[in-house]
Structure 1
């Protein structure tokens, strides 16, 4: 049985899948499996794009993940909500950076640097 298309999933299902992807990405990072991480990145992007396309831009539901126990899930949520909740997302990125839990702390720091330098503009 195949997984349902993101377009047919309820928001709660999209959030659950977002979490599963983040946890799997953390595992891939721990195993130094870049190929797996990149495949998962594409799946995460699909979910974020679907949430953005929903009426009212539903990416805000990802703010609920800022307290998730998995650092990669929190990082993904912060980066995915920069356009809809910039202050909260930046605060989350700063907290991840300050945690010094790598590699997510490094990713968060680079994201903040790119935002500050204008190299990245959230959509």
Structure 2
């Protein structure tokens, strides 16, 4: 979905695209596909920026994904919606960190450490 398409997509289509990108990231998260993974990160940033720009901040629609069956979707949804649901997002990240299953636990741990150290402020 191109940027112009993102701006015209309904909120639910953005959520679906978010899930799709997360699942694709999960399949590329083996170290052999770093360029592909980074490209997907950039795509996710565009999706979440578009969601944030919507009236009422459509990132709120990511909170139901905190219970998704994919850990990648859970972690990315919690990271993306942290500013809107900090208590719930923190719980998700803490739960994933506690599993010690990487790379998900490492991502969750890194995000929590950055927030707690004041190095990152979710907006």
Deviations 1:5-36 (A, max 9, x none): 11111111101100000000011003531111
In the comparison of the two structures, how many residue pairs are matched?
122
User: Normalized against structure 1, the TM-score is what?
Assistant: 0.94
Distance 1:32 1:65 in 2: 27
Distance 2:89 2:18 in 1: 16
Distance 2:6 2:41 in 1: 15
Q: Secondary structure, in 3 states, of the residue corresponding to 2:29?
A: helix
User: Normalized against structure 2, the TM-score is what?
Assistant: 0.94
- Structure 2 unaligned residues grouped into runs of 5+: none
Q: Secondary structure, in 3 states, of the residue corresponding to 2:38?
A: helix
- Structure 1 unaligned residues grouped into runs of 5+: none
Residue 99 of structure 1: how far off its partner (Å): 1.5
User: Corresponding residue for 2:11?
Assistant: 11
1:69 aligns with 2:69: yes
Distance 1:110 1:52 in 2: 23
User: Corresponding residue for 2:46?
Assistant: 46
Distance 1:105 1:32 in 2: 20
Q: Secondary structure, in 3 states, of the residue corresponding to 1:29?
A: coil
Residue 110 of structure 1: how far off its partner (Å): 1.1
Residue 101 of structure 1: how far off its partner (Å): 1.4
- Equivalences for residues 1-123 of structure 1 within 5 A: 5-30=5-30, 32-123=32-123
- Cα RMSD of the aligned pairs, angstroms, is 1.4
Distance 1:73 1:34 in 2: 18
